[in-house]
A and B are shown apart, each in its own frame.
Chain A
């Protein structure tokens, strides 16, 4: 079933099976041991706790996980827009060889929208209702580039055409409420792409859209990524979306990366019990099961993390060892890493299930 999901992709994408080699390509983003903690009155919440993520040039990288597992905080950490009382307490974020942690407010402002941009979940509320969409996208240019009004307008209209907005000239003067959800999301993508950033973070970009529009938007993002030099970091909880467009997937749980693998490897040889749980929770139209599978329990309160493996209280395979100490990320070959003791023995070898 999962194989079906993945196999539905266009033939040329099969080439990416050997994502091992792609990982050797130049890294656009390298997050190393990032720690973003929230200092609340009740204690320190380690929302992101030692996450390492790498995105090679021109790739779509997916981060999946349940709500509250630190996906969005990781993304906001890259832009350093973590709201108080959150703070980056450690680690490094290298964007195209440039360290972002520790940059001043002014330096970061220069990077936001210019080198890293974001698409938000709700295209309804991400646009300012009092300005025309053209003016808002123009602002994205004029903030970073020394261009005149006319030139900015020209660029915006071109960008609108590139993201498939019909009658781009007229839409320039439309207000957000005059556009449908799909069009608004296209405007958001135009806004994110107009400065040709090195990295585009898409924070659940299709959650608020219906499935046909979702497919259009995903294909649009894929196409833009192929045409430009932009890497995409896609945050989602939808495994279908991951199968559609991602090259590489990180599965996060409670602030840590649990499993990471090229997308086909992940779907074909799912290793971590949590990932298996996530994949099993997708409704299967073929089986006449009455109840949908769900992972028992809830995401742990980050203030009171369980001892040992964070997933152990909910894990079907939990061993005594799991409740004692935390597993590391074990390398299973094929660029596949799993944070689970079940695969400790496989380390280094080209393990196969």
Chain B
């Protein structure tokens, strides 16, 4: 009974200067305030694989952009005497079945493949992100309509749907753009909707609401940045996939139209010579592999650097 008061929290037991107490300070060394760009830079310095991937991607894009300066040959100029020539000093990767310089065509093909990889994917992901955000945030009827639409798109094999779209649009690169954008938004929408649903319940969203922040601001300024890690992973999956899809479509004659070319088209055109002249099919195949892998490694690195929940 005598010492009962000691265990009870009251003023007498606490230091008298509690009016402005020294706030506890644990993570002082963590305080070098870094921005998003800083964090990516740090990541690139530490993660050699991601850094190498970044260099590879930049080099490939530059090579595609400056193709005319890197090769003396015309991409579409045939030369029957060089038909199926093996790699040599004049033709680094040899020549294809029409005597066109294979390296030159690979460079020009990079343009198409990189564009197909980046643009329709970006468009599809922007559409998917916005729709997913709306579906997740508002729920109810809006959610139902958007998600059933996504279900329909996902229910068809995406390649088949892309074929239908690009066939009705009479082939060509533009129609592939549209075809891929039309089928690729659904997956993004689903992932972002799921993420939005979980973010919506977080207390910081409730806190933003209690501060009187507008719904649209909450959606795009508070929830969307928290979906960024997911988006980056999706991007690294979608870009290679688009390149491969474009290859398939080109193979079926709906994609890039000869004489213009793309990596996928080159692989498939050179397939008949795989055993006698293997370098013809392998070179664009390796290009696809390197580009796709580089994107995956870089994407992983960036995700690790940005994801606030992966922080240790």
- Alpha-carbon distance between A340 and B129 when the two chains are bound, in angstroms: 56
Residues of A within 8 A of B23 (CB): 164-166, 182-183, 186, 216
Determine the residue in chain A with the shortest Cβ distance to B20.
A164
Residues of A within 8 A of B27 (CB): 178-180
The answer to whether B5 and A216 touch across the interface, beta carbons within 8 angstroms, is no
- Alpha-carbon distance between A166 and B23 when the two chains are bound, in angstroms: 7
Interface size class of B (residues with CB under 8 A): 35 or more
A132 and B7 in contact, given A177-B311, A219-B19, A286-B1 (Cβ under 8 angstroms)? no
The answer to whether B4 and A4 touch across the interface, beta carbons within 8 angstroms, is yes
8 A Cβ contacts from B258-312 to A:
308-309, 311
The answer to whether A139 and B211 touch across the interface, beta carbons within 8 angstroms, is yes
B156 within 8 A of A: no
A215 within 8 A of B: yes
A166 and B22 in contact, given A5-B10, A178-B27 (Cβ under 8 angstroms)? yes
The answer to whether B25 and A285 touch across the interface, beta carbons within 8 angstroms, is no
A130 within 8 A of B: yes
Binds A, one of B49-57, B171-179, B220-228: B220-228
Residues of A within 8 A of B13 (CB): 8
Pick the contact of A125: B11, B19, B202, B212 (CB < 8 A): B202
The answer to whether B9 and A285 touch across the interface, beta carbons within 8 angstroms, is no
Residues 126-157 of chain A, each 1 if its beta carbon lies under 8 Å from chain B, else 0: 11111110000001100110000000000000
Residues of B within 8 A of A117 (CB): 210-211
The answer to whether B9 and A125 touch across the interface, beta carbons within 8 angstroms, is no
- CB of B43 to closest CB in A, whole Å: 16
Determine the residue in chain B with the shortest Cβ distance to A219.
B18
8 A Cβ contacts from B153-211 to A:
202-204, 206-211
Interface size class of A (residues with CB under 8 A): 35 or more
- Alpha-carbon distance between A128 and B308 when the two chains are bound, in angstroms: 10
Residues of B within 8 A of A345 (CB): none
Q: Which residue, of A130, A174, A213, has the highest number of chain B Cβ atoms within 10 A?
A: A130
**What total count of A-B pairs have CB within 8 Å?**
138
A122 within 8 A of B: yes
The answer to whether A177 and B204 touch across the interface, beta carbons within 8 angstroms, is no
- Alpha-carbon distance between A112 and B4 when the two chains are bound, in angstroms: 44
- Alpha-carbon distance between A244 and B18 when the two chains are bound, in angstroms: 13
Residues 16-49 of chain B, each 1 if its beta carbon lies under 8 Å from chain A, else 0: 0011111111110011010000000000000000
Q: A121-B203, A170-B33 are in contact. List 20 more A-B contacts (CB 8 A).
A: A4-B4, A5-B10, A9-B11, A109-B212, A110-B212, A111-B212, A112-B211, A122-B203, A125-B202, A127-B204, A130-B226, A139-B213, A170-B31, A171-B31, A177-B308, A178-B30, A180-B26, A188-B207, A216-B18, A285-B8
What are 18 A-B pairs with beta-carbon distances under 8 A? A8-B5, A8-B8, A8-B11, A79-B210, A110-B212, A125-B204, A126-B207, A128-B204, A128-B225, A129-B308, A129-B309, A143-B212, A174-B31, A178-B30, A183-B24, A215-B14, A244-B9, A285-B8
- Closest 5 pairs between A and B when the two form their complex, measured CB to CB: A8-B10, A113-B211, A173-B33, A129-B308, A112-B212
